[in-house]
Structure 1
Amino acid sequence: MTISVAETVALDIERKAIKHCARRNRLHSWLTWIYCGMFLMSFASFYAFWYTDTFSDYVLAQMKLRNGSRAFDWWQHPPIKIEYRIHLFNYTNVKEFEAGAARKLRVQELGPYVYRETKNRVNVVMHENDTVTFQEERSYEWIGGRPENDIVVMPNMPLLFVTAFVRDLSFTVRLVTNTVLSTLQERAFINETVGGFLWGYDTRLFHIAKPLIMLKRDIPFDKFGLLVTKNGVSKDRITMNTGSRNLDNLGIIERVNGIDNRKIWDDEKCDRIIGTDGSMFPPHLIKDPSKILYVYSQEMCRNLPFRFTEQVTTYGIPSLRYKFTPDAFNFSDTQNKCFCPKIDGSRVCPPAGLFNISACNYGSPLLSSFPHFYGADKSLLKQIDGLNPRQEDHESYVDIHPRIAVPMAGWSRLQMNLEVRRAIAVPFLGKLKDGMILPLIWMEIGVDEVPESIVEVLQSAHFTATNVEMALQWCSLIAMMLSLSALVTCLWKYRVQQDEIFRKKSSG
């Protein structure tokens, strides 16, 4: 059977049409798969940036303490210098009080005496379980305020320490102590320079007592001073979590001197070491305002609770303000009662607003409080004239970065007080009554000015990171919508072409 030229041409056209349709089908198939892949990728990005913490976790991962990282270098050698603004209570009517002409002692606040702290973390050892052990090295430089050579009248702390130490010892020991103190002609109050009182002054009583004290504890300094132990390398070795495995543990102190329980307060809960050293916090904690931030204080051997109070603006950044309130020194709260020292088997609590740190300081009669007894029992204000507690000047707070959970500003304000503990047969405390609380100094510890380079990093960690995160979120949303539209259009065109081919076959 012969095929005409027309039929041959028709068959050739039909074959070409079929090949063209096949090519178009393959193209549509490839485009369909490509658009499907793009949609799946954009949907995954959309889900990750909108419904998970992928980007935030990436930013926070830069906070992990790893050797060689900027975060580790800044942690080891902090670029921000802490200021100590120290206020002393000068006793102005000691002669009148001792003579019976004044019923109460009167104090005059002097200061501030401003010091800059330089802190480094030394003897650093990284461990395989993602913890780091270190010691803190501190030094202090006077940078302003009132001059250190101011002469002040202050309680004779070595005398009051010795009296408190021997009051429960045998009569023979107290008699020997009386003889020694008589020879030295010790008095209840002394005149001393501010620098000497804080950082060390010569006293014969301290030199005599030092060998006896060293039977129980090491004393690496040769002069007595209220803050002399702060200078130099701390004896405590702190083990802290680096956050490398779990950011939820970043900065958490694991152990002090190899133990996670200080065995100071004879109570498992109060002796347990939790919290950070205050230089950083686990970022997840600030997401829930009801969660408490804990700072472990080595000087007080306890965890200090900071509670969220309000949102503020710090260096142009919306930040979270947490406060350490006088409630922490309220021992009518059963949660705090375990911090009361045990005496003869039962706990003895100081008046509200005072925290007895004797157990943490080898029995020294020292107590902490807020400045001017802010938030404390009103009876404490009746013992001393010249005190004026004010919330705006005497409360403690810290402003936390809303993303990376590092302190940006804040002041810790605490006062050191001395409790009078008279001893029978040691009559050197004059008119001072047993149990009387004598304020010594109060300190503001914080940052007055942050270097511009640090402010830029803090602002970048908020504004830049937020803008990048928003850009990624919206780009992922737009990409998902465009890829979905392209996929739907491709499938629709394929369906139209298939319908057209079907019609042509049916009409042919």
Structure 2
Amino acid sequence: SIAHVVSDESYFTRVGLNLLIRQTGSEPLLEMTAKEFMFGYKSTLMTLGNKFMPNWIYFDKLGLIDRMYDFEGDYETVYTGEHDTSKTGLLDTYRGSTKIPQWDSPCGDIHEVSDGTKFPGFIKPNDTLRFFRKSMCRAKTLVKVDETVVSGLNAYVYNFQEDSDDNGAQNENNKCFCKDPEKCLPPGLLDVHGCYYGFPIALSYPHFLGGDPLLSANTTGTNPDPKIHKTFFTIQPESGLPVDLAVRYQINMALGNIKTIANVERFSNMVLPLLWTEIRMYSLPDMLAARFRLYLNVLPNVEQGIMYSLFIMGGCFLLASVYKFITSKSNQRVIYNTCWLEDDLVLNIEKKLSNYKPEKRASMNAKELEVYFSSLMTPLNQDLGYELQDSHEEDV
């Protein structure tokens, strides 16, 4: 890595590095444990670099995973979903910016991307998603390729867009991933040196799957297989929750012309594969899967059932009220319009009149007869009014 970084420096700088390499006995190939290889080992050259160039090499040991997952000084701002629940968990800024400084726009844009723990909610079948990890040094586009059911939850299956590993040779929009046209990496390699101290790190699918055929031709033992080497994400569309995923990447060193550096001449202009990794989640934990089945499968159906039941009940109550109102009005009209015509009421009137017989007198003139008749009718009208009122209350 140091040889690649210094290869374009002045002659005197390269001479100094060669002297240092020979004096310290540094070799490009070392025997070490897997833990040292992944999480760091100390070397004389690294110790000197850390001592004399601390602004560049601020670590005293070097390991692949140790450096790729170095998050010192990193901070992210994410959406809480307060104003738009579909954006919950998506990145707003990384280190205070909506883009990463390694690339020009639009290649450096990481606004509203997912880091893989939570994707947008309410995903439609034709939506494309964007995935960002610091280790990839860019955001990549995901496209839907299938639908499936995982842990009882409906889900969409996504792969990276076919030309997402292109550096501009096939996709014009990816040209901003190659700042020097003379040093563009072949299709299938992601140039991430800008995120790793200038070291010539390049990512690819395992066994150079989907990459330039020359990559496999120049490497012994490659056997690319999409079933075991391709990355996929299985996402529940309503919640944006990943229910199954496999992120598979191979770490390579894309070395340039380093023929002038001691002990590394044989690796000049070579893409050297180091290892490939798989980050895998097979399914949700049982308790979490049961909870999301309740939230996403059961409760929406219960909500719909209750809503329609209340709608039907409300309609029935409304119809019953209208029917009651109409029949009540009809009964009242019958009572008030026919009460004077009922036979029983007529008989009661005749009976009342028969009880009021005038006393026999020898003779009465017309004036006396009128006064006498009026005096008889006053109590009769009062009794008839009470009788009619009682009769009406009984009918009601």
TM-score bracket for the superposition, by shorter chain length: 0.7 to 0.9
- Identify the range of structure 1 (294-303 vs 390-399) with the bigger mean alpha-carbon deviation: 294-303
Match of 1:389 in 2: 224
Report the CA distance shift for 1:414/1:321 in structure 2 as closer, same or farther (over 3 A).
Answer: same
Distance 2:257 2:70 in 1: 33
Report the CA distance shift for 1:495/1:270 in structure 2 as closer, same or farther (over 3 A).
Answer: farther
Q: Displacement of 1:201 after TM fit?
A: 1.5
Q: Displacement of 1:423 after TM fit?
A: 3.0
Greater percentage in helix: 2
Match of 1:189 in 2: 29
Which deviations, in whole Å up to 9, do the C-alpha atoms of 1:212-255 show, x marking residues without a partner?
44223643xx3211111356764201111111232133112111
In the TM superposition, 1:285-364 aligns within 5 A as 286=123, 288-330=124-166, 331=168, 332-340=170-178, 342-343=179-180, 346=181, 348-364=183-199
Report the CA distance shift for 1:213/1:445 in structure 2 as closer, same or farther (over 3 A).
Answer: farther
Q: How large is the RMSD of aligned CA atoms in angstroms?
A: 2.4
- Could you tell me which amino acid in structure 2 is paired with residue 229 of structure 1? R
3-state DSSP of counterpart to 1:205: helix
Distance 2:267 2:79 in 1: 47
Match of 1:227 in 2: 65
3-state DSSP of counterpart to 1:414: strand
Which of 187, 198, 217 is the aligned partner of 2:38? 198
- Identify the range of structure 1 (356-365 vs 207-216) with the bigger mean alpha-carbon deviation: 207-216
Which deviations, in whole Å up to 9, do the C-alpha atoms of 1:323-371 show, x marking residues without a partner?
224421133112222122x12xx57532111111112223210111111
- Identify the range of structure 1 (251-260 vs 487-496) with the bigger mean alpha-carbon deviation: 487-496
| Identity score, percent | 25
The question of 1:263 aligning with 2:101 is answered yes
* Number of residues of Structure 1 aligned to a counterpart in Structure 2: 339
Please say if residues 271 and 302 of structure 1, whose CA atoms lie closer than 8 Å, have aligned partners that are also in contact.
yes
Could you state the TM-score of these two structures normalised by the residue count of structure 2?
0.78
Match of 2:241 in 1: 406
- Could you tell me which amino acid in structure 2 is paired with residue 428 of structure 1? N
Match of 2:289 in 1: 455
Distance 2:326 2:53 in 1: 91
Report the CA distance shift for 1:466/1:213 in structure 2 as closer, same or farther (over 3 A).
Answer: farther
Greater percentage in strand: 1
Report the CA distance shift for 1:296/1:489 in structure 2 as closer, same or farther (over 3 A).
Answer: same
Match of 1:245 in 2: 83
3-state DSSP of counterpart to 1:181: helix
- Could you tell me which amino acid in structure 1 is paired with residue 54 of structure 2? M
Please say if residues 242 and 249 of structure 1, whose CA atoms lie closer than 8 Å, have aligned partners that are also in contact.
yes
| 5+ residue gaps, structure 1 | 1-160
Could you state the TM-score of these two structures normalised by the residue count of structure 1?
0.62
3-state DSSP of counterpart to 2:100: coil
In the TM superposition, 1:273-284 aligns within 5 A as 273-274=110-111, 275-284=113-122
Q: Displacement of 1:406 after TM fit?
A: 1.1
| 5+ residue gaps, structure 2 | 343-396
Which of 167, 178, 183 is the aligned partner of 2:18? 178
Please say if residues 251 and 276 of structure 2, whose CA atoms lie closer than 8 Å, have aligned partners that are also in contact.
yes
